[in-house]
Amino acid sequence: MQPSLLKKRIPLFSVVVLSLLFSVSLIAARVYFTEKVTFVFLVWNLFLAAIPFVISSVLVVYQHKLGRVVLFSGILLWLLFFPNAPYILTDLFHLKERTGVPLWFDLMVILSAAWNGLILGLLSLQDIQHVISKRFSVIWSWVAVTLSLGLCGFGIYVGRYLRWNSWDVVTNPVGLTADLLERITDPFTHPRTVGVTILYTAFLLLAYLFFTQLAKLNFKEEQHNK
């Protein structure tokens, strides 16, 4: 374990926790004042969105002590849960006028959760790219990023429209595999599959490119000021 690396991540962990608490507080306030559990499911979605970030953080902190088998296993586990983070963006589908609460408040509830999901996803992807670039090469790290985002776009479709979850890989692998193969082997009969996958992949790739360029800009400014 690298204590210095862990210490450097403490401010990041603190901001992530504060941001998650903000979303949970909004949901709790809504439940308290309306006595309805309309958006409580977002708490579970936020929990699932945090899992890939936790996994990637462990991989980053322990990267120099992990063998290749353990490292690959960790990355595969991360990839299994990764779509759960940006998936929350699709919860905007639940926004509509409801009695007893203003629309602007519900918009903030869903947007805050979607924001957390997107940021947790981008942070975890950055961690994975860092680990792969250090253990293999920068080129392979970008290959991994592109493939991960493509699978993530497809995973968002699978979760939103086919209603499969990450744990169905274990609980119902036969049904999940059948549904996936149907769409992979004959994509043109499922235009929504292709459309959702391509558009979400493109959106997430652009978001990640902005994210990484901003990080590089801040790093260069810090180096210039030293």
Domain boundaries, the chain: 3-225
For 6, 10, 60, 120, the CA distances from 14, given in Å and listed in that order, are 12, 6, 17, 13
Q: What is the mean pLDDT of residues 22-47?
A: 96
pLDDT tens, 128-161? 999 999 999 999 999 999 999 999 999 999 999 8
The reported pLDDT for the residue numbered 60 is 93
The reported pLDDT for the residue numbered 221 is 52
What does the DSSP 8-state code read for residue 66?
-
The more confidently predicted of residues 23 and 174 is 23
Closest CA to 36 of 101, 92, 95: 101
Q: Please, which pLDDT band fits residue 222 given cuts at 50, 70 and 90?
A: low
Q: Please, which pLDDT band fits residue 1 given cuts at 50, 70 and 90?
A: very low
**23-32, 62-71, 136-145: least confident range:** 62-71
Q: What is the mean pLDDT of residues 90-119?
A: 95
CB 82 within 8 A of CB 154: no
Chain CA centroid to CA 189, Å: 28
Which pair of tokens denotes residue 126? 């950055």
The reported pLDDT for the residue numbered 66 is 86
- Write the DSSP string, 122-157: HHHHHHHHHHHHHHT-HHHHHHHHHHHHHHHHHHHH
Q: What is the mean pLDDT of the chain?
A: 91
**Most confident listed range (140-144, 185-189, 212-216):** 140-144
The more confidently predicted of residues 1 and 200 is 200
- Checking if the pLDDT of 218 tops 70, the result is no
Q: Please, which pLDDT band fits residue 219 given cuts at 50, 70 and 90?
A: low
pTM over 0.85, yes/no: yes
